[in-house]
Structure 1
């Protein structure tokens, strides 16, 4: 069974990745390199790349609001501006995915416990299988947990999370992340 995949690049913005007001995220250089590779691989496979820009990031600094220059979208990529942690909320994402015939989403971006988590969980109840790239998302420390702990916690808890018939797999970027591996479990 063949299905169509899209890559979601969530809030890969200068203010989150570099700071200074919110970032830099944990292992910034490593996550930037992984995200850049994932985006390049998606384009080589003709997989749609869909970007999100959180309007709360850098609202007082337009430079921080920009998508990081190492990850900049092409004119052919979709770009959605959003105000909520859920990339589906008050955007046309659902319509765009339906029009493209997408069944599987690969997710990278920032911040792990907010927009990456919320969008991944929401996608499953909307009928999408999700591959969260374990080394392709990041965050910052909070008052209770280090960024490293937050990332590890989400990679552990989201792996296998299912809603009705769709679920999340957490896979490393060195795996074939664009393969809709979920189908092996549904046969």
Structure 2
């Protein structure tokens, strides 16, 4: 069980913004899976927290900064604005989670190799249990130089594998597909 106090699970949706996922791998099906995770959380009464990136390249309130359709925060759902990869760094996310008595984070969004990875590790390091929605995060192919490309699909699979096998004392982590998410009163979903 989480080393944090609380018994609530919350869905944290990170950076599924027009400019972030414009060229993402399997964009449309993955965005639909994020939407399904949001629907499941809302139906169960679990908090949905929206994390939105902004920097010099992705300026706030521009069309590229907006949420990708059909995703849209509802009134009252917390919104966190960040400038670093981890959703925890220099944001009020931890305070919001503590106010909601969250011990378990369900994580979806973009980009798998940057903000999702950093947020997942940040959650585990802060004592949260973590479920990564394995088919609801994405990224782009990474060009490392002439003839050297890391395919987005491999990056996604690598993070899914890591989140299945990592071990932190007193915490649970797992990977579940959006269709299999079941939010319960318990701090972990199956």
Q: Same fold (TM over 0.5)?
A: yes
Q: What RMSD in Å do the two structures reach over aligned CA positions?
A: 2.2
Is it true that 1:6 corresponds to 2:10 in the alignment? Answer: yes
> Which residue matches 1:21?
none
8 Å CA contact retained: 1:123, 1:130: yes
Aligned-pair distance for 1:58? 2.2
Q: Match for residue 154 of structure 1?
A: 159
The runs of 5 or more residues in structure 1 that have no matched partner are 19-23
1:136-161 deviation digits (Å, cap 9, x = unpaired) = 00000002311111111111122131
Partner of 2:176: 171
Counterpart contact for 1:169–1:182, Cα < 8 Å: no
1:22-62, Cα deviation, whole Å (9 max, x unpaired): xx210011001111111111111111000111103522881
1:99 corresponds to which residue? 99
Residues 75-115 of structure 1: CA distance to partner in whole angstroms, max 9, x if unpaired? 11111110111111111111111111111100000000111
Number of positions where the alignment pairs a residue of Structure 1 with one of Structure 2: 179
Which residue number in structure 1 is paired with residue 29 of structure 2? 30
| CA deviation map 1:113-137 (0-9, x unaligned) | 1110110111111110000000000
Question: Unpaired runs of 5+ in structure 2?
Answer: 144-148
Q: What SS does the aligned partner of 2:96 have?
A: helix
* SS of residue matched to 1:159: helix
User: In structure 1, what is the Cα distance between the partners aligned to 2:189 and 2:134?
Assistant: 20
Q: Distance in 1 between matches of 2:86 and 2:139?
A: 16
**Secondary structure in structure 2 of the residue aligned to 1:16:** helix
Query: Secondary structure at the residue paired with 1:136?
Result: strand
* In 2, Cα distance between equivalents of 1:153 and 1:14: 24
TM normalised by structure 2 equals 0.87
Runs of 4 or more above 6 Å deviation? none
After superposition, residues 1-187 of structure 1 pair within 5 angstroms as 3-18=7-22, 24-56=23-55, 58-59=58-59, 62-143=62-143, 144-179=149-184
> TM-score, structure 1 length as denominator?
0.88
